[in-house]
């Protein structure tokens, strides 16, 4: 870290104490941002952690829908995102008008929305889910009930494959990162690193296509499908010292920090979320100093959006 960044980091620590603030960083943030954060993890875990702290201000270093979720779960806290342009291509693949039309065409269906969606979409949904609990959420719904699954088409296809339900309609959305990770890329790397343990992160839209290809047999190596913490625990406890990671490359920093004598290899080096990388240490400092940019979900939407989130948590 440069001298300038160290100065920013010191000021950030001072401002945190002064303002009773906490900094959360998603696993795919740049390494410098992870290093100044209080907690690192997946979006839902971070939002829940934020709600459990006594902090007055949450600086969410992630993308916009994550800050919205933190606001929904912690309505009495001020939630800030350092860069308003930190969006999500997957979340943007469906809007409320499209969902209302889809629901109107299927009035008897239950709507299951991946957490990578806006607060407005959550407010129109019956259940939320993550990649790791999507199968369990769908299985909790009576088999005869039609399901509208959105917005990730690969995760939806995976869930349909595992549950063997033929009454799931799937929205054709995808994120710009996982669209570039293919079973051919994975098999090439598995052949090159024949002794590496293959780990797949289930709570990331970027790996939902991988999960689908594993279920279909397109990927010819056993893999371990683990949550963020499960992946970190596996990396630490496994006797293997080499790992192939099929997800956004930002998580490799945390893996290496916690396991300095092991090797972590990305399946695809350019699996980079350009939105996640918009946040910098300088922007975190500016956010804390000037209380920008606040993300506040309107109360009417928040009250409706918390229902599918709570249903998901009850099932999980």
Token pair for residue 88? Answer: 């999500």
178 annotated to bind ligand: no
26 annotated to bind ligand: yes
116 annotated to bind ligand: yes
In degrees and rounded to multiples of 5, residue 259 shows phi and psi of: -140, 70
Q: What CA–CA distance (Å, rounded) separates 62 from 103?
A: 30
3-state secondary structure of 298: coil
140 annotated to bind ligand: no
201 annotated to bind ligand: yes
**How far, in Å, are 11, 79, 316 from residue 277 at the CA level?**
21, 19, 30
Beta pairing, strands 242-246 & 197-200 = parallel
204 annotated to bind ligand: no
115 annotated to bind ligand: yes
Q: What CA–CA distance (Å, rounded) separates 156 from 168?
A: 8
131 annotated to bind ligand: yes
CB 60 within 8 A of CB 88: no
10 annotated to bind ligand: no
203 annotated to bind ligand: yes
Token pair for residue 180? Answer: 């570039």
Token pair for residue 115? Answer: 């957490």
Helix (H) or strand (E) holding 216: helix 208-216
Binding positions are: 26, 43, 88, 114-116, 131, 175, 201-203, 228, 273
Show binding-site residues for [4Fe-4S] cluster. Answer: 88, 175, 273
Binding site residue list for iminosuccinate: 26, 43, 114-116, 131, 201-203, 228
């Amino acid at each position: 870290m440069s001298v300038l960044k160290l100065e920013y980091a010191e000021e950030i620590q001072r401002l945190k104490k002064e303002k009773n603030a906490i900094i959360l960083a998603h696993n795919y943030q740049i390494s410098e941002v992870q290093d100044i954060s209080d907690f690192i993890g997946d979006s839902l875990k971070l939002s829940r952690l934020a709600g459990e702290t006594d902090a007055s201000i949450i600086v969410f270093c992630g993308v916009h829908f994550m800050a919205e979720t933190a606001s929904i779960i912690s309505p009495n806290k001020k939630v800030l995102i350092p860069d308003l342009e930190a969006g999500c291509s997957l979340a943007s693949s469906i809007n409320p008008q499209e969902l209302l039309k889809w629901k109107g065409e299927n009035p008897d269906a239950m709507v299951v929305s991946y957490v990578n969606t806006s607060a407005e979409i959550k407010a129109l949904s019956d259940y939320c889910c993550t990649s790791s609990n999507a199968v369990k959420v769908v299985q909790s719904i009576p088999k005869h009930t039609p399901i509208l699954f959105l917005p990730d088409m690969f995760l939806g296809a995976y869930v349909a494959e595992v549950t063997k339900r033929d009454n799931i309609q799937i929205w054709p959305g995808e994120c710009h990162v996982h669209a570039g990770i293919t079973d051919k890329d994975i098999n090439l790397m598995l052949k090159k690193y024949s002794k590496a343990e293959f780990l797949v992160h289930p709570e990331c839209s970027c790996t939902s296509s991988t999960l689908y290809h594993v279920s279909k047999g397109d990927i010819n190596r056993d893999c371990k499908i683990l949550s963020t913490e499960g992946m970190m625990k596996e990396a630490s406890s496994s006797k293997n010292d080499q790992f192939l990671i099929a997800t956004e490359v930002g998580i490799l920093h945390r893996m290496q920090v916690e396991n300095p004598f092991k090797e972590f290899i990305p399946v695809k080096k350019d699996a980079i979320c350009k939105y996640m990388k918009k946040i910098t240490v300088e922007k975190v400092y500016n956010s804390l100093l000037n209380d920008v940019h606040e993300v506040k979900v309107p109360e009417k939407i928040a009250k409706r959006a918390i229902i599918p989130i709570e249903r998901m948590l009850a099932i999980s």
